[in-house]
Amino acid sequence: MTAATPVSPVAQVSGLTITLSRRGTATQVIRGLDLQIAPGEILGLVGESGSGKSVLGLALLGLLPTRSQPMIAGSIQVADTDMVRGSAAAIRAVLRHHLGVIFQDPMTSLNPTMRVGAQISEVHGDEAEAIRLLSEVGVSDPELRVRVFPHELSGGLRQRVMAAIAVSGKPSLIIADEPTTALDVTVQAQLLDMLRDLRDELGCSVLFITHDLAVAAQIADRIAVLYAGRLAEIGPARDVLTRPTHPYTVGLLKSRLTLATARAEVLPTMRPEAAGVALRLGGCPYHTRCPLVLDVCRAEVPELTVAPLENADAAPHLRACWRDLADVRGLAAHHEPPVAQSPALARAADQPAVEVTGLEVTFRPKSGARRAAPVLALKGVDLTVEPGEAVSIVGESGSGKSTLLRVIAGILAPTAGTVRVGEAGAQMVFQDAGSSLTPWLTVGELLRERLRPLKLGRAVTTTRIDNTLDRIGLPPEVARVRPPELSGGQRQRVALARATIIAPAVLLCDEPTSALDASLAATVLNLIRELRAELRMTVLFVTHDLAVARLMGDRIVVMTRGTIVETGAMAEVIAAPGHPYTRTLLAAVPELEARR
């Protein structure tokens, strides 16, 4: 089905405006949105964090948080039911029979005290039906899996359990909200294949919410680009990704990191914007960041109109932009002169920066656990990292990547083997900066805490904090702000500031950009490379994204099941991987050209 199908959409959003309140301040998160999802269609909804993607998904489900005091204008029709003004009984019937949902983090959606089979059966059927559904979504040994608890499954299997629950009522629409964000590339590819198969078998539609354009390319029939609660453009996936008609889409595409990105250059990023500015100003919401801005962009909101594309797909391609299409095409074709990345300089040292020998880590379940068998997380790992070197560590979840980093950082004690780190020690930057920064301390207090052992004077401490914030691209006023008041990208910068305000010998990065939008991720990656060159640090960078690994490392280490299966110079391993597992990881990297 295409956007041209006018008959009986499974969901129709008309003139939707959603206002949410936080701390007494009301903000329009969705503004005048019109959208249809056709039967059997997979619609990709893309945009940066804060664009309103998840809010739209929750509104379709009738699950907007009451604590935000939502005020809704316009209409949302699902299965001929008004999800805004319909009766509670009618909305419950739609949720039960017509809608399925897969959230980003299944652990916050699955009941940790109930076995998997009971949670599936609670929705529809009995244990036999639960086994059938798990088999349908590709779970191996479903007879065994129905009897386990969610924490006993991997991230990919938990997402498949969510999918089994989502399809149990044979819904007409599945809403998948960032279901692949924290998954490895191989598990991600499996989940995308599963959703396509479910669409083909059940005939259901899918609203696939993501900030990754390459992931959207692998699954979507149409792509809708959302910015500040408004549609920037919408059209067939191939047209949007190869012939973008809006400057915002062009910016998203240019910020993407691929296996062909030049390693010696600074990554291009989109112009940053203060939080919420686009939601408060008039005119086109993108005008404060747009390189093609006109006076009319600041004064008037552009309406969605058909883009006059030649040789476009049959479905209409709509855009909301005052600029001529030729100007946007020129922007897409224009490439800024590359800025060279400063080379990293090795520290002068006779000893390796990190030396790991015969490392083993065994996790033993606490007493009373249902299964007492120990888990061998690392098995005889040997790794030597020279001063100033950058090493990328890749592998799927459960391969031992993060465990290795935590042992090097001194957070975990090894069961066997030795770990030696340089005298200046190691500092770690975690994947979720929000949970690693003390929420009730200001940024200044967090940084001052790190400087306390140096016993510096107040004035010297303040100057050093200001200089550190300036080095990571944040103004000194941020020192008076608490982490929850910052954006995700700003929190990750603060985490880097805390780790480097006293220069460590080794910087350990554990998936620091996996949950960030493309432009924010590029900004953080540029910053880590700059800090590495300026402070002459050794960097160990854990990631499941091979494009990121290629950019950040001089050398690559591939891990699976607690062991290192391949290591070597980055260019050599990426060009000619020697181990089948490495080849599998490379084959699963999503690209803009869909695997049809």
Tens digits of residue pLDDT in 60-108: 998 888 888 889 999 999 988 888 888 888 888 888 889 989 887 777 7
Confidence bin at 345 (pLDDT 50/70/90): low
Q: What is the pLDDT of residue 2?
A: 43
CA 405, CA 431: separation in Å to the nearest integer?
12
- The upper half-sphere exposure of residue 548, i.e. CA atoms within 13 Å in the direction of its Cβ, equals 29
Between 207 and 164, the higher pLDDT residue = 207
pLDDT at 330: 92
- Reading the block at residue 260, the tokens are 């062909």
Whose structure tokens read 């652990």? 107
Burial 501-513 (b: 16+ CB within 10 A, else e): bbebbbbbbbbbb
From 196-205, 433-442, 566-575, the region with the lowest mean pLDDT: 433-442
Give residue-wise pLDDT tens across range 241-299. Answer: 999 999 999 999 988 888 888 888 888 888 766 545 555 567 898 998 899 999 999 99
pLDDT value at 8 more than 50 = yes
Q: For 458-511, how does the pLDDT look when each residue is reduced to its tens digit (9 = 90+)?
A: 899 999 999 888 887 788 888 988 888 776 677 888 888 888 888 888 999 988
Instruction: Tell me how many degrees the CA angle 536-538-542 measures, rounded to the nearest 5.
Output: 140
CB-based burial label for 291 (10 Å; 0-12, 13-18, 19+):
exposed
pLDDT for res 4:
45
Between these two residues, 114 and 262, which has the higher pLDDT value?
114
- For the segment 223-239, what is each residue's pLDDT rounded down to a tens digit? 999 998 999 999 999 99
Please name the helix (run of DSSP H) or strand (run of DSSP E) that holds residue 337, with its range, or none.
Answer: none
Binning pLDDT at 50, 70 and 90, where does residue 3 land? very low
Q: Who wins on pLDDT, 481 or 35?
A: 35
Cα three-residue angle 445-449-455, rounded to 5 degrees? 120
State CA 370 to chain mean position distance: 33
- Asked if pLDDT for residue 40 goes beyond 90, the answer is yes
Q: Is the pTM of this model over 0.85?
A: no
| β-strand partners of 224 | 45, 234
d(CA 194, CA 160): 9
Say if residues 532 and 539 touch (Cβ distance below 8 Å): yes
Tokens of 353: 């920066």
**Are the beta carbons of 515 and 431 closer than 8 angstroms?**
yes
Question: Under a CB-based contact definition with an 8 Å cutoff, are residues 52 and 30 in contact?
Answer: yes
The two structure tokens encoding residue 145: 């899996």
Q: Give me the sign of the Cα torsion angle 244, 245, 250, 252.
A: negative
Pairing state between β 81-82 and 71-78: antiparallel
Contacts of 354 (CB under 8 A, 6+ apart): 383, 384, 385, 408, 419, 420, 421, 422, 426, 506, 538, 540
Mean of per-residue pLDDT scores for the chain: 85
User: What is the CA angle 227-194-249, rounded to 5?
Assistant: 20
Give residue 205's pLDDT band: very low, low, confident or very high (50, 70, 90): very high
What does the DSSP 8-state code read for residue 536? T
